[in-house]
Amino acid sequence: MKARSVMSSVQRPPALFLHSAFRSGSTWFWNRFRKAAGTCAYYEPFNEVLASLDPQMVADHRPDTWPAGHPALDAPYYAEYAPLLRPDGGVRGYQRRFAYQSYFDDGRDEDQLRYFALLTDHAGRSGLVPVLGFCRSLARLPWLRRHCPGLHLVTWRNPWDQWASYHHLALSHQSSYFEFRAFLIASFGRCHERYRDFFADLYLPPLLAYTSGDNEAFLDFFFRASHVDHRFRIFLRVFMFDMLNALPHADVVVDLDRMSAEAPYRQAMTESLRIRTGLPDLRFDDCALPRHGWLDDGAYLSGLDDALDFLGDWEKRASAAGIGPAAIDDLKGRLTQCRNDMAAAARAGGTSGELVPGQSDLDRYTLCQVLFAIGLMVRPGGSPEDGLAHLRSVFGADFCSLRDDLLRALDLVEGLSEPSRQETQRLAARQLGRMLTGEEVGPQGI
């Protein structure tokens, strides 16, 4: 890309880090910095597509190739990475684990630090300020602040509009990509020693076999079995976790809802950001994030109530986790306002806001767990006891009462099995069924 001359004598930070959530106005915000003179703006440096990016993919990834609703761009999303591509594909220094498997790590990661150095050094050699526009970094902000000098900006949007943007894509375009990202992040969180309590009560799959995306198809099966109510609760939990980690460690917090709706706030934030970044031509006058109305396909008010209850319980432990009261108060206020707005919208639409779609997805969730149990049985070195132990650990005190559901799920395995594995899975299912109903379970019964 053509280098742009530096136009300001103001001392600029060595790098600008933009930390945002999916579907929160992040691309628009990042593009404001890309347009500023003297910058080299990298789009989503943790995005998994960077593992295989090639010149054709760079050219093909544009707002007009998918229903993103993103603003028109002067160049494709990933144009800044073009000089950093490996001959066999992928951005130099990038590793796929950076996207999600490293989401909760807080130790020193030399590979990530080398990757960031490559990006910032490449920009610096052209006399440009590196701008890194993340969508997978909010929970990592404490780590990034320790290891990556620069100015760290956090943007946020109210959770309902963010979720509704996720869900409209799923309903209108059969794209559950963003809903699945929250599911994936929460699944890794539940397996993390330090953070598992934050996600422990959610319906989430085991990640015992997840390495480098090899098991993502299995996780997707779990995801597709989940109900919209569960997905919304998972999304809210990730939203809360991200903001509790990001807000206390940001140099600047930008409320994009206020920037869209309040001209005085927009003007004051524009002037502040121009000074803090040393970029005098930053412009935000076109900020106009869309608002989304009520959706009636889930018990969303209950989900928001649950999130507020959880936050109240977590507040008692927050200080021990290094989370200041200001972050708790900000998050509680945002969720409460969202809950009140949604309740008003539901009443205006003539509903209670508590519509619960007819059938529970317990059977589908149980089926997923049964399939995983069978996978443990048929893997090298696996045994029938492994499958039964997994089901006991997942369902806990409910295990005995779910025996009929488990047996029904086992009856369905043959129809869901891949042709090459049907016989092995059928035999394992039969064996597990005998254990659930017969003497093989042991003297305690089930």
User: pLDDT (tens digit, 9 = 90+) per residue, 388-418?
Assistant: 888 888 888 788 888 888 887 787 765 554 5
* Eight-class DSSP state of 366: H
Residues 6+ apart with CB under 8 A from 308: 332, 335, 336, 339
* Eight-class DSSP state of 91: B
Q: Sign of the C-alpha dihedral, residues 219, 222, 227, 232? A: negative
Q: Take residue 371 and report the two structure tokens written for it.
A: 């399939």
Average confidence (pLDDT) over 55-70 = 93
Whether this prediction's pTM lies above 0.75 is answered by yes
- Give residue 445's pLDDT: 38
Cβ atoms of residues 195 and 241 within 8 Å: yes
3: nearest Cα among 105, 121, 93, 123: 123
pLDDT in tens, 356-371: 443 444 566 777 788 7
CA dist 260 → 132, 133, 155, 156, 335 (Å): 23, 20, 12, 12, 19
| Residue 220 scores a pLDDT above 50 | yes
pLDDT in tens, 66-80: 888 898 999 999 999
Architecture of the 10-157+251-289 domain: 3-Layer(aba) Sandwich (3.40)
Buried b / exposed e across 334-349, counting CB within 10 Å, b at 16+?
Answer: bbeebbeebbebbeee
How far apart CA 353 and CA 268 sit, in angstroms, is 37
Average confidence (pLDDT) over 179-199 = 90
Angle in degrees, 0-180, between the axes of helices 362-378 and 403-416, rounded to the nearest 10 = 70
243: nearest Cα among 10, 12, 9, 24: 24
- Give residue 416's pLDDT: 52
Residue with the bigger pLDDT between 24 and 101: it is 24
pLDDT band at 443 (very low <50, low <70, confident <90, very high): very low
| Residue 437 scores a pLDDT above 90 | no
- Give residue 442's pLDDT: 42
345: nearest Cα among 286, 291, 415: 291
* Eight-class DSSP state of 382: -
Q: Take residue 343 and report the two structure tokens written for it.
A: 């309740």
- Give residue 444's pLDDT: 40
pLDDT band at 97 (very low <50, low <70, confident <90, very high): very high
Cβ atoms of residues 399 and 392 within 8 Å: yes
- Give residue 218's pLDDT: 65
How far apart CA 446 and CA 443 sit, in angstroms, is 9
Residue type at position 44: E
pLDDT band at 7 (very low <50, low <70, confident <90, very high): very low
Average confidence (pLDDT) over 190-198 = 87
